[in-house]
Homo-oligomer: A and B are copies of this chain.
Amino acid sequence: MKRRLALLSAAGAAVAASGSARAQAPASPGKERVVVQISTPDQRMWNQALNYVENLRDLYGADKVEMELVALGHGIGVLKMDSTQGSRVADALKAGVQVSACEVTMRRQKLTREDMLPNLGYVPAGLGQIIRRQREGWAYISG
């Protein structure tokens, strides 16, 4: 009986530990995952979101963090061809950051991919992407 309980207790501890990891740690062990929302028309906040990318790479190390910038609504301008942040977006892409434009917003604002910076990712709905990332255990930062 004691043996059985010990087994149960060991199994319980293992499950509890993995449950904890699942709830509190990034999906991929040793790698931090962060999704950043850009949805305001304030260009100072666009600049700041790009700072976040640099800061997180400095903080965790380039190969220890996975980042996605999702631009939607009033934030979509950060990814337009005439964006004040064009060269910094290019840098982020080169550094392996996912940069995602919201296609719902693009339709609302009658934007095509020709209006946008090169090499972006596109997601059907920026909001849905942010929600999905939260479900997958990514940390969420409102930019």
Binding site for B on A (CB under 8 A): 4-5, 7-9, 11-12, 14-16, 18-20, 22-26, 32, 34, 37, 39-42, 44-45, 48, 51-52, 55-56, 58-60, 73-74, 104, 108, 124-125, 127-128, 130-131, 134-137, 139-142
- 21 contacting pairs across A/B (C-beta < 8 A): A4-B7, A5-B7, A7-B8, A11-B12, A15-B15, A22-B23, A23-B23, A24-B136, A24-B137, A25-B135, A34-B131, A37-B141, A39-B45, A55-B104, A55-B127, A56-B127, A56-B128, A59-B125, A59-B128, A134-B139, A141-B142
**Chain A: interface secondary structure?**
helix
